[in-house]
């Protein structure tokens, strides 16, 4: 965002969706997971800001129960804080 110049300064908000997607899908060192994955159970695949649909099959290994992920993240955060 800081590299914008000229007329681009008036269009700074156009890039926010990409920044938001990047932040929400970036792995956190303490949790070992991305915020989006912890909430929804999978990491999205973005292409031009469009979310690809994930397969709705029982053998879909890209999806994990969010409650299970959230419990894992809680444990990792507590372990990280104890260090």
Mean pLDDT for 10-24 is 83
Residue 44 lies in a domain: yes
User: The domain containing residue 68 runs over which residues?
Assistant: 6-82
What pLDDT does 5 receive?
57
Residue 38 lies in a domain: yes
What pLDDT does 27 receive?
87
Residue 53 lies in a domain: yes
Residue 1 lies in a domain: no
Report how far apart the first and last C-alpha atoms of the chain are (Å, whole number).
Answer: 35
Chain-centroid distance of CA 14 in Å reads: 19
Phi, psi (degrees; rounded to nearest 5) at 26: -85, 140
Residue 11 lies in a domain: yes
Residue 15 has pLDDT above 90, yes or no: no
pLDDT band at 20 (very low <50, low <70, confident <90, very high): confident
Convert the pLDDT of each residue in 23-81 to its tens digit. 888 888 888 899 999 999 888 776 544 444 444 445 556 678 889 999 999 999 999 99
């Amino acid at each position: 965002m800081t590299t914008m110049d000229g007329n681009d300064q008036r269009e700074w908000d156009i890039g926010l969706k990409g920044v938001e997607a990047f932040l929400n899908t970036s792995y956190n060192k303490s949790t070992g997971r991305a915020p989006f994955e912890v909430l929804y159970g999978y990491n999205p695949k973005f292409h031009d800001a469009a979310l690809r649909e994930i397969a709705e099959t029982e053998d879909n290994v890209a999806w994990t129960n969010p409650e299970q992920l959230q419990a894992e993240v809680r444990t990792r955060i507590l372990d990280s804080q104890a260090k």
